[in-house]
Amino acid sequence: MLSEKMSIALNDQIKWELYSSYLYLSMATYFKDKGLEGFARWMEVQALEELFHAMKFYSYINERGAKVELQPIDGPPTTWQSVTAVFEHVLEHERHVTERIHRLVDQAIEEKDHATNNFLQWFVAEQVEEEASASEVLNKVKLVEGGQGLFMLDRELGQRTFTLPPGTTIIGLGKA
């Protein structure tokens, strides 16, 4: 059973994962409005990944016999100054999420909640990947900023797909 304090913290993380999904969907809309379908696709996949993360927390809280309590989600920004500004925001946001995950790990260790600590290690590794991915795209955007290379990068980013990790179950979708 989760402690009340851990249950509250994990429920709060569901909110932030859903906000992340909402944020990336807003960014996808921004790119669609600019005619950058590949960038939009990259963000749509990112939004799905964040929704998947929220569902992992949802399932874990339920498995541990605690109650999921969904919280209101603030509306994300809808405009940015440039493609570069969008990806700077992505990297900043992912760094914030990493800090949140690390605080959850610290709390699990403090509470000697080994199961939750083990559960959170997947997210620790995932955040390394999330920050690296955001940083990689940001660096590419900066290289081609203001030139025709942006259209080539748009085409490259449009190839991104979302794939459930093997053995993963999502409610109503079964196992991957």
Q: 42-91, pLDDT tens digit by residue?
A: 999 999 999 999 999 999 999 999 999 999 999 999 999 999 999 999 99
Across 22-51, average pLDDT: 96
Across 143-172, average pLDDT: 73
Question: Which domains does the chain possess?
Answer: 4-160 (1.20.1260.10)
| pTM score over 0.95 | no
Is the model's pLDDT at 175 over the cut of 70? no
Give the whole-angstrom CA distance, residue 24 versus residue 109. 31
